[in-house]
Amino acid sequence: MKFTAQEIAEKVKGKIEGNPNVKLSLLSKIEIAKQGSITFLSNPKYIPFIYKTKASAIIVDNNFIPENKLNTTLIRVKDPYTSFSKLLKIFSFEDIKPYEINKSAQINKTAKISKQIFIGALTIIERDVIIEESVVIKAQCFIGENVKIGKNTIIQNGVKILSNSIIGKNCIINPGAVIGCDGFGFAPQDDGSYNKIPQTGNVIIGNNVEIGSNSTIDRATMGSTIINDGVKIDNLVQIAHNVEIGKHTVFAGQSGVSGSTKIGEYCVIGGQAGIAGHLKIGNNVKIQGQTGVLRNIPDNKQIQGTPAIDFNDYYRSYAYFKRLPDFDDRLKKMEKKWLLNLNFKKQ
């Protein structure tokens, strides 16, 4: 995939300084870039590299003023990081042939599929599936009965989307993710055994959602597990049955949410954080990594620890916790001195 600097500038709404016709075919880090590649400068720490990089073009901030001579084409934009992210998306799909259905794919005759679609090798699509235009479904995916997939969504290799799930527009579901799997529901019996509770609901995923590799989203016992617009879920995340996640909330890797918990909008959940079931987490809540949330959290809180407490309280407490060995030594010395004085007075 090749573009001229001018074509790249048009895609990111930037202004050219230098040769608009230079050919660009590779995205690179600024410190290792070669001729024919395009990179970006966002972090001031990397400014020294701009004067010695071999990149043919660099995306920079509108306000960047070079202190030395440059041997590259500049593309000036408002936000270099965001603009380069757009290019990453464009270049990442160069291996996809648009509107192609692999001959080895198995598609049920009742499925309603747009002509403008890509379906990879060995993918299975079952009864009454609806897939809108410009959807990409890569190799070895499974799409269950009555699934609906919105426009421009990308399903990467090996994804399983089980029956009755609804996927919105412009979503990305990364390799190995499982959507609509059986929720974890068992009723304890008098003899100590467990009877399985049927999970009869589904999963609804909004627009512009991204789900990381090997993450799982369980279908509801009844009703729906709901992932609202703009949610971003990292790799190896577990979302249990009947969970609801508000718009633009972000999950880092290995975090998990237990059943029937409601999480608000614009929250940030750190890596390996665990949230117990049947809780309500407010809007704009920040949960630090490895935190265990066992109670409801109101809006705009920042929490850490297990059980979770206020972020600032946690670090004040931790400051004392680190000094406990020193306190113990001091206490033993004081105790020893007190015993010596006591013995002396008895004598």
| Residues classed as catalytic | 241
Whole-angstrom distance, CA of residue 45 vs CA of residue 84: 17
Q: How far is CA 137 from the centre of its chain?
A: 19
Task: State both tokens at 287.
Answer: 């949960």
Do 130 and 136 meet the contact criterion of CB atoms below 8 Å apart? no
Q: Which helix (H) or strand (E) holds 131?
A: strand 130-131
Environment class of 95 (CB within 10 Å of its CB; exposed 0-12, middle 13-18, buried 19+): exposed
Cβ atoms within 10 A of the Cβ of 109, count?
5
Bridge partners, residue 33, by sequence: none
Rounded distance between C-alpha atoms, residue 181 and residue 283, angstroms: 27
Q: Which amino acid is at 339?
A: L
CA distance linking residue 57 with residue 130, whole number of Å: 42
